Amino acid sequence: MSNKRNVTKAIFPVAGLGTRFLPATKSIPKEIMTLVDRPLIQYAIDEARAAGIKEFIFVTSRGKGALEDYFDHSPVLEQELARKGKTALLEDLENTNMDSGAIAYVRQYKALGLGHAVWCARRLLDPTEPFAVLLPDDVIAAEKPCLQQMVEAYSETGGSMVAALEVPQEKASSYGVLDINGNVNDTTVSVKGMVEKPESGTEPSNLAVIGRYILSPNVMQNLHALKKGAGGEIQLTDAIADEIAADRGVFGYKFKGKRFDCGSKAGFLQATIAFGLSRPDLRDELSAYLKTLPA
């Protein structure tokens, strides 16, 4: 079993074209489309910060300049808000700023799969340290942020850990699915296999892998093989499965919280409503409007 060093670096694969949200994504990256008044990427960044992440690595592609600009300071805007005494807005704005050197960007020039996107960040990682991967499309509403829950569980297990979600059996073939040995405790399972998008009826369980990972540095070594898997792409689940074969410990963590698939239009709309209703300044007006809609 690998050591259990602190997890301080996270990879955010954001190179996708966002074609399901065209024409909006013709000119703006999907990751800065907003849920209420915060872009998708801000939810992922805030979750990572809460988990103790200090270094943020974005795997981007052509056309993502607006995403990079989002994290820059905006002195003119900040000065104007300060002059007008808009302290709450100024604080919100400051939360989007990142310290110099905290963010790094690398390009994925060809869309060869999630595993390949993670591999593109290899030179920015210490080869002896575990690292996190967060997919901004998966937005998770939780009292304690999902990655923070995982980091706490990982401190007990080491190895590699994936966030696991129970899904209806008929939808399991759309995910990477866990084959489990058994329970470590109430929230953590030991994994003996992972299958990427299994054929319907062959799913080993209804525990699906969603977009939060804490990975042993061995996983990056496994990705060096650039082995193609499902769909002819380099699959991250395959590199994690190699850890199982090597008996280095892979665990699924059944997080507490509500996951929204913001990579789909329906999921994005559901998240917008849910996050809007969670806001005291919006709840009453939005709730009243929803009650006027036909059933």
What's the rounded Cα separation, in Å, for the pair 267 and 259? 9
State residue 255's pLDDT score: 95
Contacts of 29-35 with C-beta under 8 Å, sequence gap 24+, read 29/63, 29/64, 29/66, 29/67, 30/137, 30/263, 31/64, 31/67, 31/136, 32/66, 32/67, 32/70, 33/268, 35/139, 35/262, 35/268, 35/271, 35/272, 35/275
Residue 84 lies in a domain: yes
Residue 144 lies in a domain: yes
State the Cα–Cα distance between residues 102 and 263, nearest whole angstrom: 26
Domain membership of residue 4 (yes or no) is no
Q: Which of 29, 106, 104 has the alpha carbon at shortest distance from 63?
A: 29
pLDDT at 57: 95
Q: What is the largest CA-CA distance in the chain?
A: 62
Q: Is residue 141 part of a domain?
A: yes
Give the CATH number of the domain where residue 149 resides: 3.90.550.10
Please count the structural domains in the chain. 1
Return the H-helix or E-strand segment holding 284: helix 283-292
Asked if the structure places residue 20 within a domain, the reply is yes
Residues with pLDDT less than 50, the chain: 1-2
Name residue, tokens 């310290």.
Answer: 99
Residue 1: inside a domain, yes or no? no
pLDDT digits (tens, 9 = 90+) for 59-100: 988 877 888 888 877 778 888 888 888 888 888 777 777 777
In a domain, 2, yes or no: no
Domain holding 266, by residue range, is 9-292
DSSP 172: G
How big is the CA angle at 135 (ends 22 and 54), to the nearest 5 degrees?
130
18 in the Ramachandran plot: left (φ > 0), alpha (ψ -120 to 50) or beta?
Answer: left
Token pair, residue 111, equals 């869309």
What is the rounded CA–CA span in Å between residue 99 and residue 103? 8
pLDDT tens-digit profile of 13-55? Answer: 998 878 888 888 888 888 989 999 899 999 999 999 999 999 9
In a domain, 3, yes or no: no
Q: Which of 40, 45, 36, 37 is nearest to 11 (CA)?
A: 45
Name residue 12's beta-bridge partners. 58
Alpha-carbon span 280 to 86, nearest angstrom: 19
Give me the pLDDT at residue 12, please: 96
Helices 146-157 and 40-50, interaxial angle, to 10°?
40
